[in-house]
C-alpha cells in the first residue's frame, strides 16, 4: 500500500485538475501532497473525440485564478453576440453579450473540449501535481475515522486524509458513498432526447455569434470553438438512444442535412455541409431524487458531474463544476485557518464535516436552480405542440423587443446564476 498523506482526486477530466491547482494556489496543500488518478490512458485525453464547450464568465474567472484563462482564450473564440432565430430564419432576438467582460471580468468562450483538457493537465503537472493514468477507481472505504482508502481495478490501494470525487456522471466514488449509506447504487435516467454533434470547418465570414434556432420538436445551436472550427448541435426528442458517443460517417452528413431541412437559415447550410466530425449521443442525467442526496460523507466529497449532472443544452455543467472547485477550496482554507495553533493540525473528521457541509450549502441551491431551469427549457423547447411553438416564438419576439437592457442583463444573470456568484 502506497501511503498518500493528504489529498487524492479521482478523475482528471475538467474539474479534477482545476481542483488540484486551486488547492495548491490557496496553500491548502502542497503540490507534492496531491495525487490525481485517471481511468483513461494519457493518449486518450488528447483525442479529438468529444464535445466543444462554451465556458461562461463564471467558469472563466476560476480559470483566471489558476492562470490558464489566457491560454484558453487563445485556443478558443470569444463569443460576442447571442442570436435567437426561428428555423425559417426569422429573427426572434439578438443581443450583444460583449458587456460580459465589463460586468463579470471575462467574455464567454467557445473551446474544444480536448484542447481544454490538455491545457488543464499540462498546467496541473507544471505545478508539480502528480497524475497517474490507467488507474480506474473501484471503490472507496472508510473503515475508521483516520483515513480513506481508494482501491483501483489493478488491485492497488492508496490512502489519504481527503478524497475528492471528480469522476464524472458515472462516478464510482458516488456509488461507493451510497453503498456506505445503505442506499441504492446511482443509476441514470434517459432524458428523452438525443443530440447530433458536428464540428465543421469555419468559413471566414462566420462571426463570433452563438446562434440558437428553434423548430417544432427540435432545436439547433452553433458557435465557434476554435479559430478554425465551428461546432453545431441538433437536439431532438427520441425514444431511447445509447449514451455512448457514436461516430457517424461523412456520408451521414448529407442525410442529417436532409432530415433537418426545416432549419433554412444561412448558417445551417454552411456549418452542416462543412462538417468534418459527426457524432450522435443519447443524453442521460441523474434522476431527481439523487439531486437531494448529500455530496459528501466522512472524508470523501464530490464535485462537478459526480455530484450533480445537468443536461448539456444550457451549457452550464462545466461552469457549475468550476464553481464547486472554488467554493470547496474556500471552505477548506477557512477550516485550515481556524486550526492554526492546534497542535495536531491534520484534518479531523469533524473539521472536514464542517467544511463539506458549508460547501454543499453554498453550492447546492444555485446548482439545483440551474438544473431545474435546464430541464424545464428542454421540455418547453422539444415537447411543445404546434400552437405552443408559435406562441413561444411570439412571446420571444415580444420579450426581446420590449425589455430594456437592464432587464435582459438581469435575466441573463438569473439564467446562468451569475447574480449569486459574482456581483
Ligand atoms: C455534448 C455536451 C456538451 C456540453 N457542453 C457544455 C458547455 O458548453 N458548457 C459547460 O459548462 N458544460 C458543458 N457540458 C458539460 C460538461 O462537459 C461537464 O459538466 C463537465 O465535463 C464535468 O466535468 P467533471 O470533471 O465533473 O467530469 P468529466 O469531465 O466527465 O471528467 C471525469 C473524469 O473522471 C474519469 N473517471 C471516470 N471514472 C473513473 C474511475 N472509476 N477512476 C478514475 N477516473 C475515472 C473520466 O475518465 C474523466 O476523465 C457538456 C456536456 C456534453 C455531454
Q: Are 114 and 47 in contact (CB under 8 A)?
A: yes
Q: Does the CB atom of residue 304 touch ligand 1 within 6 A?
A: yes
* pLDDT value of position 189: 80
Question: Quick one: CA dihedral 371, 374, 377, 379, positive or negative?
Answer: negative
Question: Total structural domains in the chain?
Answer: 1
Question: Quick check: is 203 in a domain?
Answer: no
Pocket probe mutation, ligand 1, options 8, 12, 13, max atoms within 8 Å of Cβ = 13
The pTM (predicted TM-score) of the whole model is 0.92
Asked if residue 170 belongs to a domain, the reply is yes
- Residue 62 covered by a domain: no
Q: Is residue 264, in this structure, part of any structural domain at all?
A: no
Task: State whether the Cα torsion 30-32-34-36 is positive or negative.
Answer: positive
**Residue 373: CATH number of its domain:** 3.50.50.60
Confidence (pLDDT) at 420: 46
Determine the distance separating the centroid of ligand 1 and the alpha carbon of 198, expressed in angstroms: 18
Mean pLDDT per 10-residue segment, the chain (423 residues): 78 97 96 96 74 90 96 95 87 86 89 95 97 96 89 95 95 86 64 86 79 87 92 85 70 84 76 84 77 89 93 86 97 89 71 96 90 78 76 81 77 66 46
CA 141 to centroid of ligand 1, rounded, Å: 24
Domain that holds residue 367: 2-51+110-187+288-379
Q: What is the Å distance from ligand 1's center to 214 Cα? A: 26
In a domain? residue 192: no
Q: Are 300 and 178 in contact (CB under 8 A)?
A: no
Task: Assess if residue 85 is contained within a domain.
Answer: no
Rounded Cα distance, 139 and 364, in Å: 25
Q: What is the pLDDT of residue 181?
A: 62
Ligand 1 centroid to residue 8 C-alpha, Å: 18
pLDDT of the residue at 306: 94
Residue 234 lies in a domain: no
DSSP per-residue letters across 190-212: EEEEEEEEEEEEPPTT--SEEEE
Atom of ligand 1 nearest to the CA of 152: 42
Question: What does the block give as the cell for 194?
Answer: 438525443
pLDDT of residue 179: 74
Establish whether residue 16 lines the binding site of ligand 1, counting it when its CB lies within 6 angstroms of any ligand atom.
yes
Asked whether residue 206 is domain-assigned, the answer is no
Cα 231 to ligand 1 centre (Å) = 18
Amino acid at each position: 500500500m502506497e501511503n498518500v498523506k493528504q489529498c487524492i482526486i479521482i478523475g482528471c477530466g475538467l474539474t479534477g485538475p482545476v481542483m488540484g491547482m486551486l488547492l495548491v494556489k490557496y496553500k491548502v496543500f502542497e503540490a507534492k501532497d496531491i495525487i490525481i488518478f485517471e481511468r483513461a490512458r494519457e493518449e486518450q485525453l488528447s483525442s479529438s473525440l468529444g464535445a466543444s464547450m462554451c465556458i461562461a464568465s463564471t467558469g472563466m474567472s476560476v480559470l483566471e485564478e489558476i492562470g490558464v484563462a489566457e491560454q484558453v482564450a487563445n485556443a478558443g473564440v470569444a463569443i460576442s453576440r447571442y442570436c435567437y432565430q426561428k428555423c425559417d430564419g426569422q429573427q426572434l432576438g439578438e443581443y450583444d453579450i460583449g458587456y460580459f467582460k465589463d460586468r463579470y471580468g471575462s467574455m464567454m468562450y467557445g473551446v474544444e473540449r480536448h484542447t481544454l483538457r490538455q491545457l488543464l493537465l499540462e498546467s496541473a503537472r507544471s505545478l508539480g501535481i502528480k497524475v497517474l493514468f490507467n488507474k480506474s477507481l473501484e471503490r472507496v472505504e472508510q473503515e475508521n475515522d483516520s483515513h480513506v482508502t481508494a482501491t483501483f481495478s489493478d488491485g492497488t490501494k492508496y490512502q489519504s486524509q481527503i478524497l475528492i470525487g471528480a469522476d464524472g456522471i458515472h462516478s464510482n466514488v458516488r456509488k461507493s458513498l451510497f453503498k456506505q449509506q445503505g442506499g441504492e447504487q446511482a443509476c441514470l435516467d434517459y432524458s428523452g432526447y438525443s443530440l447530433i454533434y458536428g464540428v465543421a470547418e469555419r468559413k471566414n465570414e462566420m462571426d463570433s455569434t452563438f446562434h440558437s434556432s428553434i423548430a417544432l420538436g427540435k432545436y439547433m445551436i452553433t458557435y465557434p470553438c476554435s479559430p478554425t472550427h465551428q461546432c453545431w448541435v441538433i437536439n431532438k426528442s427520441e425514444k431511447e438512444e445509447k449514451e455512448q458517443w457514436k461516430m457517424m460517417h461523412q456520408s451521414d452528413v448529407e442525410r442529417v442535412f436532409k432530415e433537418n431541412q426545416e432549419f433554412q437559415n444561412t448558417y445551417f447550410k454552411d456549418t452542416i455541409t462543412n462538417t468534418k466530425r459527426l457524432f450522435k449521443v443519447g443524453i442521460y442525467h441523474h434522476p431527481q431524487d439523487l439531486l437531494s442526496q448529500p455530496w459528501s460523507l466522512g472524508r470523501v466529497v464530490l464535485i462537478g458531474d459526480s455530484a450533480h449532472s445537468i443536461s448539456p443544452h444550457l451549457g452550464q455543467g462545466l461552469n457549475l463544476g468550476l464553481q464547486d472547485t472554488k467554493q470547496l477550496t474556500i471552505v477548506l482554507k477557512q477550516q485550515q485557518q481556524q486550526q492554526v495553533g492546534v497542535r495536531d493540525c491534520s484534518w479531523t473528521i469533524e473539521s472536514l464535516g464542517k467544511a463539506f457541509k458549508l460547501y454543499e450549502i453554498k453550492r447546492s441551491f444555485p446548482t439545483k436552480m440551474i438544473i431545474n431551469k435546464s430541464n424545464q427549457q428542454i421540455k418547453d423547447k422539444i415537447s411543445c405542440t404546434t400552437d405552443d411553438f408559435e406562441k413561444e416564438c411570439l412571446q420571444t419576439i415580444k420579450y426581446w423587443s420590449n425589455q430594456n437592457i437592464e432587464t435582459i442583463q438581469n435575466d441573463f444573470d438569473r439564467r446562468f446564476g451569475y447574480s449569486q456568484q459574482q456581483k
